[in-house]
Amino acid sequence: MTETPGQDSPLGFTAQAMLCDSAAAVEGKLFIQGGGWNAIAAGAMPFTAPRIGMALLIGVPYGDTLHRHQLTVGLQDEDGSQLPLGPPVDGGRASHLQLAFEVGRPAQLPPGDTQLLPFALNIDGYQFSGPGGYVFVIAVDGQELTRLRFRVHLRAG
């Protein structure tokens, strides 16, 4: 699991993130199956991963409540090249997954407190063309919060 504060200030957005086999966000909680890995063993290449899950817990600062924000998840290979990730669009696949969100400000929230917002992302049937290192880059409003690194390798034997 990674936890990274926002880069602009100590009161910025934060992210805790974990790769898993599957994730769900229900009633403000994360439910994680097969969590905490950083490698995928493939029998042959190209390899289609049945499912890659991400459990994300975004810390939203008090001053950023009541505003619309954009969560972005991208995928890069070990050379830093952006890989297609989103659903098919005109002319190919999108390079990022994007989700707009807005967090309210409950009356009982003391000024300065951070609210935690869970997100579960499941990517089904992603095809990797070859072994190597990969990284999911997670950002809010264009500010990178954290990276989830993993490796795809050929299974021994």
pLDDT digits (tens, 9 = 90+) for 37-82: 999 999 999 999 999 999 999 999 999 999 999 999 999 999 999 9
Q: What is the mean pLDDT of residues 7-32?
A: 87
Share of the chain above pLDDT 90, in %: 83
When comparing pLDDT for 90 and 53, which is higher? 53
Looking at the predicted structure, is the pLDDT value of residue 9 above 50? no
Class of domain 2-36+48-154: mainly beta
The domain limits of the chain are 2-36+48-154
Looking at the predicted structure, is the pLDDT value of residue 7 above 90? no
- The alpha carbon of residue 2 and the mean position of all alpha carbons in its chain are separated, in whole angstroms, by 11
Q: What is the mean pLDDT of residues 124-151?
A: 96
Ranges 8-12, 25-29, 31-35, 50-54: which has the least confidence: 8-12
Dihedral sign from CA coordinates of 92, 93, 95, 100 = positive
Distance CA 81, CA 1 (A): 23
With tokens 């952006």, the residue in question is 82
Q: Is 144 exposed, middle or buried (0-12, 13-18, 19+ CB in 10 A)?
A: middle
- SS3 call for 22: strand
- Residue 85, pLDDT score: 86
- Average pLDDT score, the chain: 91
- Residue 8, pLDDT score: 43
pTM tops 0.85, yes or no: yes
Scanning 34-132, the segments in alpha helix (DSSP H) are none
Share of the chain above pLDDT 70, in %: 90
Q: Is 125 exposed, middle or buried (0-12, 13-18, 19+ CB in 10 A)?
A: exposed
